[in-house]
Amino acid sequence: MNILQNIGALLVLIGIMILIHELGHYWAARYFDVHIESFSIGFGPRIFGFRRGETDFRISLIPLGGYVKMEGEQLMPEAAGEKPGPASDDPRAFLNKPRWQRLIIAFAGPFMNIVLAVVLLAGLYTQKYPKPVTEEAGVIDLVLPNSAAAKAGFQSGDKLIAIDGVRNPTYEDIDIRVITNPGHPIPVTYERAGAEHEAMLTPETDPKDGIGFAGWSTQTEFQLRTFDPRSNAPKAGLRADDVLVSVNGQPIRSIALLREIARASKGQPLEVVYSRDGQTKTTQVQPYEGEIDGKSTWLLGVRMSPKVEYTKLAFFDAVRESVATNIKGAGMIYGVLKNIAIARMSPKSLEGPIRIAQAAGEAARQGADYYIGLMAAVSLNLALFNLLPIPVLDGGMILLLIVEMVWRRDLSLNVKENVMKFGFVFLMMLVMFVLYNDIRKTIGG
C-alpha cells in the first residue's frame, strides 16, 4: 500500500513541478509571439488532450518531464519525435527571434519553479511557521569513540564557537559544514573550561550516502519528523512533532545518543517518554535490525530535527522568511554540487525519483504542511538543476545563447547538434546513476 501511495504522491508532486515549469516557457514564448505547436506533460506518444488555437495541449505516455514545442526550435528526437532541421522562414519561429528573447524564454521555466518555491513556503508560513527554539546550539552532548570528532580531541561539554568561518553556528550551520566536507579538514573554534581552543575536524565519509560524518552530536531538544517504513514507533503511538524526552531513562539531547541506546538494546523494547501538546506520555518501542555503514545494528527508525515552535507570520514577514529559506537552500544545493564536481563529496549523496517518491509518500502521510514543504524544496532543486550549464537543459541553452551574444554570430547547426547529443548522453548516464544509487540505498536500508 505504501508503494502505491508513494507513486501517487510522486506523480502529483512531479506533475505540478512540470506544469509550472513549462507554463513559464509557454507564457514567455506567447509574450514574444512565438508560434507554439504543442504543450506536453510527459514525453512520447500522445494519450489525450485538446487543441486551443494553434497549440496542442496534451498528456503524453512517459510522465518523466514535459516540453513546449515551438516552431523552428532545435529539439532532440526524444523530446519532439523528429530530427532537428534548419530554422523556419516564419518570423514567429523560435530561432528567428532575437537572442535576448530566446534567453528569457529559456530562463522562464526555472524562474517559475523558483517563484513556486517562494509562494509555497510563504503561504505555509502564514499558517504554520517553524520558529527554532532559542538555545545554545553548539554544545557537544556526545562524542563517539574513534570518530572524527574524538580524533580531533573534542569532548562532551565543549561549546562550538565557530566552524569553517561561521561564528555562533546554529545546529543547521554545523550540520551543513560537516555533511559537505567529507574527508577534508575544517577549522573549528571551541570553548572548554572558559578557554578558547582551535582544532581541525576532518569528517569521515559515510560509505552509503557519501556525506560527511563527525561522530558528535550537539545538545538540543528533538522532534520526530518521519519514520522508516520498518519502524514500530507509529504503532507504539508516536507521531510527527512529538518531542523526545528520554529513552530508557536517558534524556535525549542528541541523535548519536539515541542510536547508541537502540544499538545497545539488542532488540529489547525501549521505554520512550515523549511530550505532545504539553502532556508527557510513555510508550514501549520495539527496535528492528537494520544497517548503518554496512554493519548490522538495532534501530528505532525515527528521523528527528531540532525542536521548533509553530506560529503564524504576517504576509510580508512570511514572504521575507520564505525568500531567506530558499536562498539558504540554494546555497546548500550549489555547495553540494560544487563539492561533488571538485571531488570533495561523493555523487552517492545525489538522490533520484525512487528516493523522492519515498519522501513524497512519507510527507503526504504526515500532513499537508510536510507535503507543501517538500514540494517547495523539490521545486527549488528542479529550478537549480535546470540552470546547470548542461546541454539539453535550460542552463545549457542559456550558455549557448550567451556564447552567441558575445561572439555575435550563431553557432553552426552541426556544433549545436553535437553539443546536444553529448548533453543527452551525459543526462541519461546521470539518470541511470541516480536510479542505481536509489535502489542501492533502498535495498541496503
The pLDDT tens digits for 339-388 are: 777 766 667 667 777 778 878 888 888 788 889 999 999 999 999 989 98
pLDDT at residue 82 in the model: 44
Closest CA to 185 of 219, 223, 151, 137: 151
For residues 80-86, average pLDDT: 44
For residues 125-149, average pLDDT: 81
Cell of 90: 516564419
Element containing residue 442 per DSSP (H, E): helix 413-444
251 and 240 Cβ atoms separated by less than 8 Å: no
CATH topology assigned to domain 221-302:
Pdz3 Domain (2.30.42)
Q: Choose between 120 and 361: higher pLDDT.
A: 120
3-state helix, strand, coil in the chain (%, to 5): 45, 25, 30
| 221-302 matches 131-218 in CATH topology | yes
Mean pLDDT of the chain: 84
pLDDT at residue 137 in the model: 66
**CA quadruple 163, 156, 145, 270: dihedral sign:** negative
Kindly tell me if the per-residue pLDDT of 135 is higher than 70.
Answer: no
Kindly tell me if the per-residue pLDDT of 85 is higher than 60.
Answer: no
Q: Look up the CATH number of domain 131-218.
A: 2.30.42.10
Q: What are the structural domain ranges in the chain?
A: 110-128+312-445, 131-218, 221-302
pLDDT at residue 267 in the model: 86
Cell of 264: 545497545
Cell of 45: 506518444
Kindly tell me if the per-residue pLDDT of 287 is higher than 60.
Answer: yes
pLDDT at residue 151 in the model: 92
205 and 223 Cβ atoms separated by less than 8 Å: no
Three-state SS at 293: coil
Q: Look up the pTM and report it.
A: 0.78
pLDDT at residue 80 in the model: 42
pLDDT at residue 252 in the model: 80
pLDDT at residue 75 in the model: 43
Report the C-alpha gap between 147 and 378 in whole angstroms: 33
The pLDDT tens digits for 401-439 are: 999 899 888 777 777 778 878 888 888 888 887 777 777
